[in-house]
Amino acid sequence: MAVAAALAELQAEAKCPVCLDGLNDPVTIECGHNFCRRCVQRSWVDLEDTFPCPVCRHPCREPQLRSNAQLGRLIEVARLLLSGPSGRRRSQQSPLCEWHQQALSLFCEDDLEVLCPLCAQTPSHQGHAVQSAAAADHLQQVSSYVEPLKRQVADTQGLLATQGRKLLELREQVQRQRLELASDFAHGLRIPGCHELWCKSQILLRSGVAVAVVQAATAPIGPLGWELPYATGVTLKKNEKENLIIILIDGRQII
């Protein structure tokens, strides 16, 4: 167990803080941190006055890169040990910044965002509290929050789709019922006598006669009939044989 812990610590120390891979052509800058030569040069590209350390943000006065040959040899030994039976290789690649293709090795505590060294140097993160050691832990923690939210969004979208289908089915059902009612009505007009009855009802409506059929059928009617005071030329009579209400308009029998 002690050997495994020592190898794990050696593996961590042999990594470049920028690319999170084994140090390649290691160099040491003014503050004492070590990087791959290419990584630190890319971090300082387009800078002129100060050259901040990608880890501690210490402003280096000049981009002086001192080769660390001794560290390079130690890294070679570490690689040999890690490639042996007792060593452990990294099982998956570190996530990379989609803008700069560098490892997301930093964490901005102000914006709660994982960053690569180049992102940390942008004006939007200047003066923010940027940490390096806890970047991986923060990334895992953020992922644990994001995944449940993604599932909730997917569930909500599925529910909305289901409700949309039900609404469409309801509209189609209402449309079918409308067509059926229209068809039944048209069929009823084709029945003998139905169309004539419908036409007579329209004449009554246009003449201004308001007759409650149920009341008229049960109310007593004089032997000679009576005239509605508000409908000129409209007369109701009772057929004694059939006990029916007969409506006359200007002497013409309507019903």
CA–CA distance, 139 with 215 (Å, rounded to integer): 83
pTM over 0.75? The answer is no
CB 35 within 8 A of CB 54: yes
Between CA 248 and CA 48 the distance in angstroms is 108
**Residue of 133, 50, 135, 63 whose CA lies nearest to 97:** 135
| Angle of the 2-13 helix axis to the 69-82 helix axis, nearest 10 | 140
- Written as six digits, the tokens of 233 are 């030329």
Query: Residue 2's pLDDT is what?
Result: 57
- The predicted structure's pLDDT at residue 84: 56
Task: State residue 48's pLDDT score.
Answer: 77
Give the Cα-Cα-Cα angle 93, 17, 30 (nearest 5 degrees): 160
**Which residues sit opposite 236 in a β-bridge?**
226, 247
Distance from C-alpha of 67 to C-alpha of 24, rounded to nearest angstrom: 11
Segments making up each domain of the chain, as ranges: 2-133, 208-253
Helix (H) or strand (E) holding 108: strand 106-108
Provide CATH code, domain 2-133. 3.30.40.10
Across the strands, what pairs with 60? 51
Q: Tens-of-pLDDT digits for all 255 residues of the chain?
A: 456 566 666 766 778 888 888 788 888 888 888 888 888 888 888 887 788 888 888 888 776 788 887 777 777 776 666 665 544 444 344 567 777 777 777 888 888 777 888 888 888 888 888 877 555 565 566 667 677 777 887 888 888 888 888 888 888 888 888 888 777 766 665 556 666 666 766 666 655 544 444 444 445 544 444 444 444 444 545 444 444 445 544 445 445
Contact 234, 247 (CB under 8 A): yes
C-alpha angle with apex 205: 200 to 211, nearest 5 degrees?
A: 95
What pLDDT shows up at residue 204?
A: 63
Contact between residue 200 and residue 210 where contact means Cβ atoms under 8 Å apart: no
pLDDT (0 to 100) of residue 139: 59
CA 137 to chain centre: 27
CA 106, CA 139: separation in Å to the nearest integer? Answer: 10
Instruction: Give per-residue burial for 35-51: e unless 16+ CB within 10 Å, then b.
Output: bbeebbebbbeeeeeeb
